[in-house]
Structures are given as C-alpha cells and as structure tokens.
Amino acid sequence: MQKNYLEINEKYKYKIKINKPITEFKNVNNQIDKTISKIIREFIDSSKRRVQLNMYYTLYITYKSYKYNTFTTYVFSISEFTGGAHPNNYMKSIRFNNKGEIITIKNLIEQNSNILNTLSKISRKLLFEKLSSNDNDVNLQMILDGTKHVKENFENFIFSDEGLIILFDYYQVAPYYLGVQKVLIPYKNLNIKF
C-alpha cells in the first residue's frame, strides 16, 4: 500500500510531490514519516529563504521496494530543486524484517565489529575498478573519502539475493554526472547472520 501527497504553495512558490509506502508496522511507518517530515521541513525552510523569486522550488520523493528473505528495503529517491544548474538528488534507505524490526548499519556492526573495515576495503577496490575502467574522471580522493570506515558512508544499503548492495550517493565517491554508485558485496564476506 502507498500514499501520495501533493502540495503547491503559491505564497512561497514551492511544489512538493511525494509517494511513500505504508506498511503493516506502526514503527516502520513512523520511521518513514519521521525521515520524510525532516526533508520537507528543511525544504520549506529553504523555500522561505529563497533568492530566486521567479521560479518554483520543487521537492519530489519516490521510492523503490526490494525484498530478500525476511527483509524489505525501501530506497527513497529525493530530488530537490532550489535554484542552480540542476536539482540536488540524494537517497535514504530504510530496511526492516518480517517482525517489523528496523535494520540499520548499527545492527550490522553489532553482528560484526569489523564490518566497516570490510565494507570500506571491498567498496574501494570495486569502485576504483569500475570507475577507472569506463574512462571516467576518477577522483581517487573522492573514493577514499566516500568509503572511509565510518557509519555515515554505509547507511544506504539493500539486502538482496546476491549479497549486500551498498549505495553511494551523488558526489560521495564520484562526480555528480556519474550518478549513484552501487557495490555488491556477497554475504560470505561480511560475517553477519539474521
């Protein structure tokens, strides 16, 4: 089930269009609402402080759903236009199991205290191979910074049949025009059990 939301504000010239999932779990729905509400608040605040008055600012949020075993992952794609050359695009992901328990990077660290090092090392190697093989502008420092073994770099992930898919946001490991980068890490490399 999903809910669609549309708001057009003529006074502050902004448009918001959102579609979001509704689950059977109250705590998951609350987490989704909390995440989206924060994005909306920040966007509206930005719209009220605008510099360019002759155009609408826009916020669009859509999502994709992924299922693996007892896990569901929602990946929210957020696109905000607040002036400039292009919209700001980024992602947020929320995962939960069939009991309604939300799974975060913190849960993976509890399963394996060395997992950030593993994610960092494997992601760096795979991203460097992928990005350098396509004749792209590979910025080694972007890859190194975007894959440092800190929680924030690995918060967006998907449980899949093949393994953990790590999502790296725009600008995190590569220039904007290369978009979101994905790395697949087989579960056997991660030493986690759910």
pLDDT digits (tens, 9 = 90+) for 137-171: 677 889 999 999 999 999 999 999 999 999 999 99
What 2-9 contacts at long range (C-beta under 8 Å, 24+ apart), as own/partner pairs, is 9/47
Q: Which CATH class for the 2-103 domain?
A: alpha beta
CATH classification of 105-189 is 3.90.640, yes or no?
yes
Instruction: Write down the pLDDT at residue 175.
Output: 87
* Dihedral in degrees, nearest 10, Cα atoms 44, 79, 121, 124: -130
pLDDT digits 0-9 by tens, 33-66 = 999 999 999 999 988 887 666 789 999 999 999 9
Residue 158, pLDDT score: 98
Return the structure tokens found at 108.
Answer: 């993976």
CATH 3.30.565.40 occupies which residues in the chain?
2-103
User: Is residue 47 within 8 Å of 57, Cβ to Cβ?
Assistant: yes
pLDDT of residue 75: 98
Give start-end residues of each CATH 3.90.640 domain in the chain.
105-189
More confident residue, 2 or 137: 2
pLDDT tens digits for 60-116? 999 999 999 999 999 999 999 988 778 999 999 999 999 999 999 999 999 999 999
Taking the CA atoms of residue 151, residue 155, residue 161 and residue 162 in that order, the dihedral angle to the nearest 10 degrees is -50
**Mean pLDDT (the chain, rounded):** 92
For the whole model, what pTM was predicted?
Answer: 0.92
Query: What does the DSSP assignment read for 23-57?
Result: -S-HHHHHHHHHHHHHHHHHHHHHHHT-S--SS-E
Q: What was the pLDDT predicted at 52?
A: 64
Confirm if 47 and 82 have CB atoms less than 8 A apart. yes
Q: Is residue 71 within 8 Å of residue 161, measured between CB atoms?
A: no
What does the pLDDT read at residue 84?
A: 78
- Residue 136 above 70 pLDDT? no
